[in-house]
Amino acid sequence: MIPLRWPRLTGALLLALALALGPIPAAAQSVLATWGLGVTLDPLDGRGRGLGSVGPGLFGTGVVPGDPGASLDLIVPTVAVSMQSSWLQVDQDAGSATLSGSRFPAMGIAYPVRDWGVLTVTYGGVLDQRWMLVRQNLLDLGAGGAGISVTDQFVSDGGVAAARVGLARRVTPNLGVALAVGRFTGSVIRTFTRSFNPLDAGVVVAPFKSGGRWGYSGVTATAGLVFDVSDIVRAGGTLTWSGSLTAELTDGSEDRARKYDMPLEFRGGISGALGAGLSAVLSASYADWSGAWSSLGGEATAGPALSLGAGLEWTSPSFLGRPLPLRFGWRRAKLPFRLDTEDPVESTLVGGFGLQLAGTANIPLAQIDLGVEHGTRSAGSVSEDFWRSTVSLRLAGF
């Protein structure tokens, strides 16, 4: 184990992390989260976001939920956390709105075990179901009444995540294998509140409230492969199988459950060295969510989701003598859940950088990675223009 020589820096980083992960008001990351099971979340950190990646196959090491092979070749214990924020402008038939929100999508610990490989414990988001809708209505009282103005508010706060235990191991100098098993977890609290206009009612009427809490469970497993050709090419892939996602609702009088068929998901990527300090990344993912359609109910439908990404990384720049890799990329994703006939599509241009705060060229002991995305989402009458940032902090050698 490598001794640490930067206790003050560690303390400052942990304090900044604690402040960053403090109470944050829940808000929508996308109005498309109201459809089906929500918005799918990719297993990516700040570096992957900055490269436009959608999966494995990146040079180097990392601790990424859903990609157990990313920890291959780690030689010191490592902790990694990621946080994501979004700002979006939504336009639809009912008007436009400006929304923002933050979430804590990923964290993980990796520990090298002699003669076995690298053991990982991770927790990361899978589906985001946070949204809020506010609508003004006129309640018809009948019998010639003028009606009462009411404000209806629908709020969904939470989502589905997965806790996993994984192991990555080299079987030859060029080939590595990885396996992770885990369970779905998380919950969503959904509430409906109707407020009455006291001027129309003539008296003060207490708001009407109803709602319930959905708890999620299920099993999942991911197998991964990493293949290297010297330091020139790296290819990686993951295959994720999941059992049914069970959602249980407790409303105080009876328990109800609903099951959703989760898809078989493939993610693959390849990185190639183009020259001194310059590399390119290509990646893709595919999952067919059609099996969940029969359980969704209402007007929501589900179908295949295909994502493509490409990017460049330039590792030669430095800042105050520390490596400062720069990243650029592009990403396009077709989202699985829809209400209209058109498939929801997200397209982004991305960029970012990494800053090594302590360590060596081969062993980063403290590093921050930032990925910034600017893009659009469109589906039928809904369109969104958004900015999204992902910050990852990595500490090692403790």
CATH assignment of 7-396?
2.40.160.60
Give pLDDT, residue 14.
Answer: 33
Instruction: Give how far Cα 201 sits from Cα of 139, 145, 147, 206, Å.
Output: 11, 11, 9, 11
Burial of 146 (0-12, 13-18, 19+ CB in 10 A): exposed
Contact between 126 and 164 (Cβ < 8 Å): no
Measured CA to CA, the distance from residue 384 to residue 347 in angstroms comes to 11
Report whether pLDDT(379) > 50.
Answer: yes
Backbone angles phi and psi of 87, in degrees to 5: -135, 125
Per-residue pLDDT averaged across 278-305, rounded? 84
Domain ranges of the chain: 7-396
Q: Provide, rounded to the nearest whole percent, the portion of the chain with pLDDT above 70.
A: 82
Amino acid, single-letter form, for residue 311? G
The H or E element that residue 326 is part of is strand 326-334
Amino acid, single-letter form, for residue 237? G
Give pLDDT, residue 12.
Answer: 34
Contact between 379 and 362 (Cβ < 8 Å): no
Measured CA to CA, the distance from residue 346 to residue 294 in angstroms comes to 25
Write the pLDDT tens digit of every residue in 246-263: 988 876 545 578 889 999
Measured CA to CA, the distance from residue 185 to residue 247 in angstroms comes to 10
Mean pLDDT of the chain: 83
Write the pLDDT tens digit of every residue in 145-172: 567 888 888 888 888 999 999 999 999 9
Backbone angles phi and psi of 85, in degrees to 5: -130, 150
Per-residue pLDDT averaged across 43-64, rounded? 92
Nearest to 80 by CA among 363, 325, 368: 368
Residue 77 tokens read as: 């214990």
Q: Picking from 4-18, 175-189, 282-296, which range would have the lowest pLDDT averaged per residue?
A: 4-18
| HSE, side-chain direction, 13 A CA sphere, residue 234 | 21
Q: Model pTM greater than 0.85?
A: no
Residue 160 tokens read as: 């589905």
Give pLDDT, residue 253.
Answer: 47
Per-residue pLDDT averaged across 229-245, rounded? 94
Instruction: Give how far Cα 275 sits from Cα of 176, 279, 313, 314, 316, Å.
Output: 25, 7, 11, 10, 11
Per-residue pLDDT averaged across 362-371, rounded? 88
Instruction: Give how far Cα 378 sits from Cα of 88, 135, 295, 341, 348, Å.
Output: 12, 22, 24, 12, 12
For residue 319, give every residue at least 6 positions away whose Cβ sits within 8 Å of its Cβ, in sequence order, or none: 355
Report whether pLDDT(7) > 90.
Answer: no
| Ramachandran class of 31: left when φ > 0, alpha when ψ lies in -120 to 50, beta otherwise | alpha
Q: Picking from 93-97, 103-107, 215-219, which range would have the lowest pLDDT averaged per residue?
A: 93-97
Measured CA to CA, the distance from residue 190 to residue 212 in angstroms comes to 6
